[in-house]
């Protein structure tokens, strides 16, 4: 998981928090020198976006054209720590998915930065097509 308040495009693998399946932190990013702030892990009534028969679904791991892509959409809150329970429930309920939409942001998670780049672009395209 990426720290709060950082430019996701500039992150390296060592900038990420790594969690065990039970939620405990296995590793965390090292603080950068001043003037950077120390890293803070994101404190992250779900709705769900269901999409099928769209070409872009094939770009999301484990999905094909005829599959139904179910994306949890979580109500955003003023503070990240208020999102924790709803995000955990969405991830538990939809383990095949590797993304979660919020009112103002998208969380896409995977084993490596490269494993989330293509799905991110496909999700952006799908959302634009639905507008």
Return phi, psi of residue 106, to 5°. -125, 135
Confidence check: pLDDT of 102 > 50: yes
Report angle CA 102, 106, 112 to the nearest 5 degrees: 145
Residues 121 and 60 in one domain: yes
Confidence check: pLDDT of 21 > 70: no
Confidence check: pLDDT of 73 > 70: yes
**Pick from 70, 125, 131: which is nearest to 98 by CA?**
70
Q: Give the total number of structural domains in the chain.
A: 2
| pLDDT-derived band at 46, boundaries 50, 70, 90 | very low
CATH of the domain at 62: 3.40.225.10
Active-site residues, by number, are 55
Residues 31 and 53 in one domain: no
Mean per-residue pLDDT of the chain? 75
User: 10 Å Cβ neighbour count for 100?
Assistant: 22
Confidence check: pLDDT of 125 > 50: yes
Residues 37 and 52 in one domain: no
**Pick from 13, 26, 43: which is nearest to 115 by CA?**
13
Rg of the chain over all Cα atoms, to the nearest angstrom: 15
C-alpha–C-alpha distance, residues 41 and 80, integer Å: 10
Residues 57 and 117 in one domain: yes
Helix (H, G, I), strand (E, B) or coil at 72: strand
Residues 119 and 80 in one domain: yes
Confidence check: pLDDT of 26 > 80: yes
48 close to 86: Cβ distance less than 8 angstroms: no
User: 10 Å Cβ neighbour count for 73?
Assistant: 15
Residues 48 and 92 in one domain: yes
| pLDDT-derived band at 45, boundaries 50, 70, 90 | very low
110 close to 100: Cβ distance less than 8 angstroms: no
Residues 55 and 96 in one domain: yes
Domain encompassing residue 97: 43-130
Residues 117 and 59 in one domain: yes
Confidence check: pLDDT of 128 > 80: no
């Amino acid at each position: 998981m990426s720290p709060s308040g950082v430019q996701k495009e500039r992150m390296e693998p060592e900038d990420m928090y790594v969690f065990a399946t039970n939620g405990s932190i296995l590793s965390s990013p090292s603080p950068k020198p001043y003037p950077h702030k120390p890293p803070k892990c994101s404190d992250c009534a779900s709705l769900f976006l269901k999409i099928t028969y769209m070409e872009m679904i094939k770009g999301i791991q484990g999905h094909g054209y005829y599959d139904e892509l179910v994306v949890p959409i979580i109500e955003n809150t003023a503070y990240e720590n208020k999102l924790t329970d709803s995000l955990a429930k969405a991830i538990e309920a939809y383990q095949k998915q590797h993304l979660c939409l919020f009112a103002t942001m998208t969380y896409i998670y995977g084993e490596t930065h490269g494993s989330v780049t293509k799905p991110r672009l496909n999700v952006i395209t799908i959302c634009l097509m639905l507008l």
